[in-house]
Amino acid sequence: MSDQRVAVVSGGSRGIGKAIAVALAARGRAVVVGFQGAASAAAQVVEEITASGGRAVPVQADVADEGAVAAMFDAAEESFGGVDVVVNSAGRMSLSPIADLDLDELDALHRTNIRGAFVMAREAARRVRAGGAIVNLSTSVVGLQFPAYGAYAASKGAVEAMTLVLARELRGRNITVNAVAPGPTATELFLDGKDEATIRRLAEQPPLERLGTPEDIAEVVCFLASPAGHWINGQVVRANGGII
């Protein structure tokens, strides 16, 4: 059996998840690229990884479906021998003032962002090997309180709370659990529906005076998932260029 470390990345077909999958593979991890609907995009990520000499397989899974998530972890064990790193980057975002919020959309958002995060975390807690890492994706909006982000920020606040509890529940297992909370990041999900003036205003907020990139976030995740970052545990890292 290979001694290669193995990562499962949900939401790995695009945006931040794709950058994380590619970056982990570049650091020698075998990667399960989890996706829900974008099969062709996931296949392209796998092709990019394998073309660079890495190992990866795509696996379709709705993160809120416990059977599908268990099957994704099964695929990691069958393809690569185990699971060492789990990154939950699958997410859904819906923007609306709280007074106007469609509750059906709230339920859909929370199904992916809260239930999905719990299902991924539960399976990770059962399967990640000693020395491993679990990294959840949150958002800096939990602290920044931007208008119209109430439902999204609430869902990610739940993810942060769960992350901190799980880190303590895994005492004695030598597994770290952290969350990374990106600020405004230039992904398709983030840019959708925003005009140039809004994007420019958001880019000017951090002292570094630019939007983050998916690669910026991937670097933070890779550090937390590496032996070098193993002393960081039970933390939420605000990766936002210094926005207060």
Kindly state the tokens that stand for 222.
């890779």
Name the active-site residue from 152, 178, 216, 240: 152
Q: For this structure, is 152 an active site residue? A: yes
What's phi and psi for 70, nearest 5 deg?
Answer: -60, -40
- Which active-site residues does the annotation give? 152
